[in-house]
Structure 1
Amino acid sequence: MVQTPSKVPTLQDFLELPETKPASEYVNGKIIQKPIPKARHSRLQGKWVEIINEVVEKQCIAYAFPELRCTFGGRSIVPDIAVLRWERIEFDATGEPVDDVLMAPDWTIEILSPEQSSNQVTGNILHCLKHGCQLGWLIDPNDRSILSFLPNQQPELCQGSETLTVLDRVELTLTVKQVFSWLKMGQ
């Protein structure tokens, strides 16, 4: 029996497909569906979006978007949180943000799920940095650490009482311990 190779989808083919829940990403010619977020993931994601936007939105510094599709450099990815500097957010004539984001976020935050490959997620962060992103985080709820990535520097593993690096002009000082304390709800 002769097998014909299946057609490798192009980025344009992928972008024409209907959105999936949870989101799918296009990486290196492959379509990869992200895992469904679980409680700890959702809690950390929600708190980060809330806290970042509380600090930056009123001053028009930046905005943190949860699950925002960003298409650039031959990939289409959906970081758990994509922070864009205000001056890079494209608005339409009515003052609303344009839906299609065709650039890397300024700050990409990924929260590792048990079903995800840390190398694959790290690959997306590195891709963002290669295309203009200024800061990337890989948050690992299982070992209570945050791997921080800056352009042209070695990653830094942050744990415990270490203060986290944030995007320039964002006045936010938090330790890793404080971040993971958010998982203890109602306290």
Structure 2
Amino acid sequence: MGMPEGKKYYTYSDFLEIEEEFLCEVIDGTVISMSPSPTPKHQDVVDELTAEFKIYLRGKDCMAYSSPIDVCLFADKETNTEDIKDWVQPDLMVVCDKNKVGEKYIIGAPDLVIEVLSPSTARNDRLVKYNSYEKAGVKEYWIVDPYNMSVEIYSLDGKTYKQLGVFGKDDLLTVDTFKDMQIDLKNIFKA
């Protein structure tokens, strides 16, 4: 079925009225993605990164979530679903404020977001979602390229992102949000 036909502007309320399981992302009321299922390579990278964060965060206040889960970037607990016009489904995110974890979705900007590129989503991840995450105040944003085996890390500096570096499969990277967390990319990217 999908989103209601004949409309060009959607709210989260429209999305919640859909009776079937349906995945889509919307920025400023416009559908930006209704992607096919991810490839095995894409999903393996997401799973490996999720494992790293889940193990590191065990017993801590922050939680890691992997897709699919909706993130209503500019909402708070009082925002009516009819007023929510931006929601995304990052491949992986970390939320440190338990008040942002709603019953059905994440409310507001996560602390860290990771997007793993797919050929069909690369433009959105690098441009549309990058700008939305920056505007929403996501503190750390990673763009992971499973095909070139690289990770670009951006950190919010005031209201704009600055690139902290680009890391390859042989690198050990430090997570900016958690200075004592390191990830050996050999465990993430498999030849």
Taking the aligned partners of 1:64 and 1:19, their CA distance within structure 2 comes to: 27
Contact 2:12–2:87 (Cα < 8 Å) also in 1: no
Structure whose CA Rg is larger:
1
Taking the aligned partners of 1:62 and 1:136, their CA distance within structure 2 comes to: 16
Q: Residues 129-156 of structure 1: CA distance to partner in whole angstroms, max 9, x if unpaired? A: 3212111111101111111111134323
Give 1:84's aligned residue: 95
Contact 2:174–2:181 (Cα < 8 Å) also in 1: no
Give 1:162's aligned residue: 171
- Structure 1 pair 150–101 and aligned structure 2 pair: CA distance change class (3 A): same
| Equivalent AA in structure 1 for residue 86 of structure 2 | R
Q: Residues 62-92 of structure 1: CA distance to partner in whole angstroms, max 9, x if unpaired? A: 111111210123410000011111xx1238x
Taking the aligned partners of 1:127 and 1:163, their CA distance within structure 2 comes to: 28
Give 1:107's aligned residue: 112
Give 1:43's aligned residue: 44
Percent identical across equivalent pairs?
18
Taking the aligned partners of 1:39 and 1:81, their CA distance within structure 2 comes to: 16
How far residue 173 of structure 1 moved from its aligned partner, in angstroms, is: 1.1
Taking the aligned partners of 1:18 and 1:72, their CA distance within structure 2 comes to: 20
Contact 2:52–2:183 (Cα < 8 Å) also in 1: no
3-state SS in 1 of match to 2:99: coil
Structure 1 residue ranges without an equivalent (≥5): 1-5
Taking the aligned partners of 1:99 and 1:170, their CA distance within structure 2 comes to: 30
Taking the aligned partners of 2:132 and 2:161, their CA distance within structure 1 comes to: 14
Between structures 1 and 2, the one with greater strand share: 2
Give 2:56's aligned residue: 55
Residue 136, structure 1, aligned to residue 145, structure 2: no
- Structure 1 pair 171–61 and aligned structure 2 pair: CA distance change class (3 A): farther
Paired residue total: 169
How far residue 26 of structure 1 moved from its aligned partner, in angstroms, is: 0.7
How far residue 22 of structure 1 moved from its aligned partner, in angstroms, is: 6.1
Give 1:3's aligned residue: none
- Structure 1 pair 48–77 and aligned structure 2 pair: CA distance change class (3 A): same
Taking the aligned partners of 1:51 and 1:70, their CA distance within structure 2 comes to: 21
How far residue 168 of structure 1 moved from its aligned partner, in angstroms, is: 2.6
Give 1:15's aligned residue: 15
- Structure 1 pair 19–142 and aligned structure 2 pair: CA distance change class (3 A): farther
Alignment of 1:117-156 (within 5 A): 118-122=122-126, 123-151=128-156, 152-155=160-163, 156=165
Taking the aligned partners of 1:167 and 1:15, their CA distance within structure 2 comes to: 34
- Structure 1 pair 14–167 and aligned structure 2 pair: CA distance change class (3 A): farther
| TM-score, normalization by structure 2 | 0.75
